[in-house]
Amino acid sequence: MKVLFITPNDINSINGGGINVKKLYLSLKSIEEIELKVYSPTEALKTDILSKKNKINDVLSRLAFHSNYMYIDWKFNKNKIIEYSPDVVILSNSRLGFIAKYLKNKWPNIKIITQLDNIELDYCENYVEKFKGIKKKLIKLIERKSVYRDEKKAFDYSDSIIFLTERDKKRAKTLYEYKVKKEYIIPICLEKKIELNKKSNKKLNFIFLGSLWYYPNYSGIEWFIKNVWKNIEYDNFQLIIAGSKPSETIKAYNGKDNIVVYPNFKSVEEIIPENSVFISPILEGAGMKVKIAEALSMGLPVIATEESLIGYDEAINKGENKCIYKANTNIEFINKIKEIVRDYSQIKMKNISNMIFEEYYYIDRCKDEISKILEINLSKEQR
């Protein structure tokens, strides 16, 4: 069976979108029974069909009211796909609905599977928050129109949809009212555990990781600093904030009130001490929060809002879970911090976190799920 995997993301990227793409890529690579071809911008993997992810293609696609640079790139590469003649096409993002439509019209019997990182129409609402004034209004108008038409095509022309969360599944039906497909839920899955060895002279370190240009992230950590951090006795603690493109407001916290900001870092191992607690004070957003799974892979306990824990029901409901703490208000955060400080045991919490990670969010889960999806629904059907 010939399988074509199409992604607009760099498969080696360490951001949320990249991690979700790599989940699919590694799973497909592990299936010996298929012939796999990859269409992506990832030069390091010697991708079979290389896309050109650049500003020109991005802008031209938006001017044509499409939501991804691949709309332009596709025009130069679709003949290579036609020549390959795949039996199954897996799209890593619902913004690629224009590809689903083209292929389904050309080959009605082809099987198309689309994975969602989130509901893209909801994501773009937060994405445009980094812009200001008339530019923000214009970009929002173009983005919403472009995303809606492409994402709707993904639902209309795909045979199977893979969601990250049950919430996304329900939201998609509300927005697009599509006919029932084969639907699956596969959460964030990571390829390995991370061993932390960095030492710290602080009693505990509280960690926030995330893209600091993204509105839900920077507004969430600013809320935490003002309403939680400055209302606890933090002399024996340290707050570590790490992520790309922080605002001047966030950078100004560096070195004050036991707060350290890392705008750039090579790996989490170099900045996160062993005796740490992961915090996720996200009050709004879209999709499943990758950083929770990463925290579990590091063996860290987590204090997070209900929004941050969307998609983690299995872990939260796992027996006597004493590593994931839910908090939605400043008082709840303060109380959970006090509870962790009182009961903290690095070895015990690491064991529980790692156990939950291996059971629910390790790559082997995705490999099994993708193999079943192809085998049961697709592998025996040829054009």
Please state the three-class secondary structure of 192-227 as a single string. CCCCCCECCCCCEEEEEECCCCCHHHHHHHHHHHHH
Same domain, 352 and 373: no
* 181/215 same-domain check: no
198 within some domain: no
7 with 35, same domain? yes
Structural contact between residues 277 and 208, judged by C-beta atoms closer than 8 angstroms: no
Centre a 10 Å sphere on the Cβ of residue 256 and count the other Cβ atoms it contains: 10
State whether the Cα torsion 79-83-88-90 is positive or negative: negative
Specify whether 8 is located in the same domain as 129: yes
Say yes or no: 176 and 281 in one domain: no
Residues 213 and 267 in one domain: yes
Residue for token pair 């795909």: 158
Backbone angles phi, psi at 213, to 5 degrees: -90, -15
* Mean pLDDT to the nearest integer, 328-349: 94
Same domain, 167 and 51: yes
| Paired strand residues for 240 | 207, 260
| The 259-262 sheet, strands edge to edge | 259-262, 237-242, 204-209, 276-280, 302-304, 324-326
**What's the confidence (pLDDT) of residue 382?**
44
Q: d(Cα 280, Cα 51) in Å, to the nearest integer? A: 34
pLDDT over 70 (residue 379): no
Over residues 351-378, the pLDDT tens digits come to 999 999 999 999 999 999 999 999 875 5
Q: Residue 257 burial (CB < 10 Å; 0-12/13-18/19+)?
A: exposed
Q: What is the pLDDT of residue 378?
A: 58
Q: Which residue has the higher pLDDT, 382 or 6?
A: 6
Tell me how far apart the alpha carbons of residues 59 and 143 are, in angstroms, rounded to a whole number: 11
The answer to whether residue 193 is domain-embedded is no
One domain for residues 356 and 368: no
Asked if the structure places residue 70 within a domain, the reply is: yes
Token representation of residue 165: 């969360």
Q: Is the pLDDT of residue 240 over 50?
A: yes
Indicate if the pLDDT at residue 31 is higher than 90: yes
Q: Is the pLDDT of residue 335 over 90?
A: yes
| pLDDT of 51 higher than 90 | yes
d(CA 211, CA 230): 23
- 182 and 268 in a single domain? The answer is no
Instruction: Indicate the pLDDT class of residue 127, thresholds 50, 70 and 90.
Output: confident
Q: Are 83 and 232 in the same domain?
A: no
> CA-CA distance, 88 to 111, in Å (whole number)?
5
Let me know if residue 160 belongs to a domain.
yes
**Euclidean distance between CA atoms 367 and 223, whole angstroms:** 38
Q: What is the pLDDT of residues 244-297, one digit of tens each?
A: 999 899 999 999 999 999 998 889 999 999 999 999 999 988 778 999 999 999
With contact defined as beta carbons under 8 Å apart, do 84 and 90 qualify? no
Identify the CA nearest to 39 among candidates 87, 15, 74: 74
Q: Are residues 345 and 368 in the same domain?
A: no
Q: Residue 105 burial (CB < 10 Å; 0-12/13-18/19+)?
A: exposed
Assess if residue 199 is contained within a domain: no
Under 8 Å between Cβ of 383 and 107: yes
> How many domains are contained in the chain?
2
Task: Write the DSSP symbol of residue 282.
Answer: -
CATH of the domain at 179: 3.40.50.2000
Please determine, for residue 128, whether its predicted confidence score (pLDDT) is greater than 80: no
Which residue carries 């996160």 as its tokens? 272
Q: Does any domain span residue 239?
A: yes
Q: Which residues form the domain of 14? A: 2-188+363-379
Counting every residue written for the chain, the total comes to: 383
- Residue 23 in tokens: 């989940």
Helix axes 215-227, 330-343, angle to 10 degrees: 70
Q: Evaluate whether 220 touches 281 at the Cβ level (below 8 Å).
A: yes
The DSSP annotation for 132-146 comes to: -HHHHHHHHHHHHHH
Per the CB < 8 A criterion, the answer to whether 304 and 333 are in contact is: no
Asked if residue 263 is part of any domain, the answer here is yes
Closest-CA residue to 208 (of 292, 270, 284) = 292
188 closest CA partner among 263, 321, 296: 296
Confidence of residue 135 (pLDDT cuts 50, 70, 90): confident
In terms of Cα–Cα distance, which of 29, 22, 368 is closest to 190? 22
Q: How confident is the model at residue 383 (pLDDT cuts 50, 70, 90)?
A: very low
Q: 305 with 278: CB under 8 angstroms?
A: no
154 and 295, same domain (yes or no): no
Q: What is the per-residue pLDDT for 377?
A: 59
Cα separation of the two ends of the chain? 10
